[in-house]
Structure 1
């Protein structure tokens, strides 16, 4: 598409037509980048499909999509099962317990006959996902936007009755550090949830990498693919977390909080493809030299340090290398002038 002629999407006087044009331009850029990624992963892809007739090409793309769907289904099952375990383990921690509004129950002591209130908790999440979704206090809270006050009884009731939309935005609590955020400062803590980190490791590095090590037990052997490589290695990610891979994991984590029995592109009127596109744009759209680009780059550097702390591309190892070079330069300069 042609140059945007300096259209600023944040300008107060921007028109609907300009916003629509920018959205179309960004969609084309996003898809074009995806095509380049496919070419990188499948050398000769363009030449191969160019040499096919229409029917052969259609069959090829059908198989191509089936492979993608099967991989996504495997990832969804893995993330969904693990997420239920993580929430069950964390449900008594303050950051999740604050969302649990299960009423206390009056019980009678069989020996003394005295009555007392016993604190109740939300049900444990099973691997079948049947107990998840908005009726579950913790899962419901994590599904909703930080703009909605889950702890308000009236708000919870409206959400559960379908009187309050979940699709107001994609700033779901489950994406945030500590599972909460500030609607007036949306980017603080965004995409820094430990559940996102754990799910990312489960999908891209190895399921065993999300299990905490115990000094009294031998290390768990990492689960790898048929060729002995984890997904990140097979994709040639080279120790670098990408915005697209984070967006992919976000969609899986969000849907894993619902009662969906299988992958679906929409649940609770929330579009997962549109959520993915929004998150990809969040990481890729900011232009170089802007403060938004600097914030996104800092977030990606944080992800690299969390996922690949010992890789040469991580922020931690780069910082160590830079400090080492600086120390060497200082000493060499001192020796030259001594």
Structure 2
């Protein structure tokens, strides 16, 4: 399984570009100026409790945006406000630019949802410390869950040889189980000839170009002719999300193959992943339900843990984790037509 990040990639290195201290200070200043507008969205009452700066800062990547910095989110919110009050004329943005803006603004809205503790703690935090907080959570996720993912996969008699939690060199395409889960649903991993071509990276068999790896599917199986059948209903996927947002103990309570319709389990039944407890992440971040961003975050972590990577990289072996993350968020948020919207609504209800 993929090990903890090394010093090859500093934890506070931005994904795209360099965010200066001045930019972060400007962001914090802006948030302070707009706090009155956000006040109305904050929960109130005698049970309201401030959460630590560390928890909220680290939670930002999990709940709001895995790849964008807070400064980018605030700048986009400002731009949207300006666009609402000004006529853009003939300079309408391209569809791709609009999608990028939508991603950013959606993440900003998620940030507002946790503002009750965020405003008091993070806005008064040194900008450098803030940056380190919201970039270090990923490494903790990898460290905490990697061993458990190997153990969960080893519960299957089909996992041969057994996965070694602390040895990532035997993962990815080198191991039949991890290779199968990383293999696109369009390719038949169990076909020896195709299997070999995938491992050799032959033309037309590059797994880095597909956004539909088998790890997203119930029992790792799907229909290439109906790629949405069983999509986002993987028990392993549910367990990883539980481990991140509640606890490892709650994740372990879900049998690895129960949700795969083994022994008659219902396709429409799932655990309640984000049931709040006194100390879990969901309560601290004011997170009441599974969201597209939380599903996407858990998916990226799971995919990375199945590789043979020795340290985190937003692009590994040609596979872009940022594109993967955005694809998943778009799947839920940009559904077109009544049927697609109803399907997404039903899928989110299954998760919740």
Q: Give distance in 2, aligned partners of 1:138 and 1:196.
A: 15
Q: Give distance in 2, aligned partners of 1:21 and 1:207.
A: 43
SS for the counterpart of 1:36 is helix
Q: 1:78 aligns with which of 144, 166, 172?
A: 144
Q: Give distance in 1, aligned partners of 2:161 and 2:317.
A: 21
The residue that corresponds to 2:46 in the other structure is none
Find the structure with the greater CA-based Rg: 1
The residue that corresponds to 1:267 in the other structure is 316
Q: Give distance in 1, aligned partners of 2:147 and 2:293.
A: 22
Question: Structure 1 residues 249 and 231, CA, compared in 2 at 3 Å: closer, same or farther?
Answer: same
Q: Give distance in 2, aligned partners of 1:68 and 1:128.
A: 28
The residue that corresponds to 1:236 in the other structure is 286
Pairing 1:39-188 to 2, within 5 Å after superposition: 39-43=112-116, 60=127, 62-90=128-156, 92=157, 97=158, 121-163=160-202, 164-188=205-229
Give the stretch that moved more between structures: 250-259 or 127-136.
Answer: 127-136
Q: Give distance in 2, aligned partners of 1:293 and 1:125.
A: 41
Question: Structure 1 residues 167 and 232, CA, compared in 2 at 3 Å: closer, same or farther?
Answer: same
Give 1:44 deviation, angstroms. 9.3
Q: Give distance in 2, aligned partners of 1:237 and 1:212.
A: 21
The residue that corresponds to 1:189 in the other structure is 230
Q: Give distance in 1, aligned partners of 2:179 and 2:201.
A: 13
SS for the counterpart of 1:66 is helix
1:303 and 2:343 matched: no
Kindly provide the CA deviation profile for residues 275-310 of structure 1, in whole angstroms up to 9, marking residues without a partner as x. Answer: 0010001111125x6211110010000011xxxxxx
Pairing 1:322-337 to 2, within 5 Å after superposition: none
Give 1:23 deviation, angstroms. 2.3
The residue that corresponds to 1:103 in the other structure is none
Instruction: Say which structure, 1 or 2, has more relative contact order (CA 8 Å, 6+ apart).
Output: 2
Q: Give distance in 1, aligned partners of 2:241 and 2:318.
A: 25
Scaled by the length of structure 2, what TM-score is found? Answer: 0.62
> Does the Cα contact within 8 Å between 1:123 and 1:136 map onto a contact in 2?
no
For structure 2, the 5+ residue unaligned runs are 1-79, 85-91, 256-276
Give 1:246 deviation, angstroms. 0.5
Give 1:255 deviation, angstroms. 0.7
Kindly provide the CA deviation profile for residues 191-219 of structure 1, in whole angstroms up to 9, marking residues without a partner as x. Answer: 110001111110001111022399xxxxx
Q: Give distance in 1, aligned partners of 2:185 and 2:311.
A: 26
Q: Give distance in 1, aligned partners of 2:351 and 2:139.
A: 24
Q: Give distance in 2, aligned partners of 1:213 and 1:199.
A: 11
Give 1:248 deviation, angstroms. 0.5
SS for the counterpart of 2:143 is helix
Q: Give distance in 2, aligned partners of 1:64 and 1:38.
A: 14
Q: Give distance in 2, aligned partners of 1:23 and 1:43.
A: 33
Pairing 1:211-222 to 2, within 5 Å after superposition: 211-212=252-253
Give 1:228 deviation, angstroms. 5.2
Q: Give distance in 2, aligned partners of 1:184 and 1:196.
A: 22
> Does the Cα contact within 8 Å between 1:76 and 1:263 map onto a contact in 2?
no
Give 1:150 deviation, angstroms. 0.8
The residue that corresponds to 1:25 in the other structure is 98
Give 1:33 deviation, angstroms. 1.3
For structure 1, the 5+ residue unaligned runs are 4-17, 101-120, 215-226, 305-338
Q: 2:303 aligns with which of 239, 249, 254?
A: 254
Q: Give distance in 2, aligned partners of 1:161 and 1:213.
A: 36
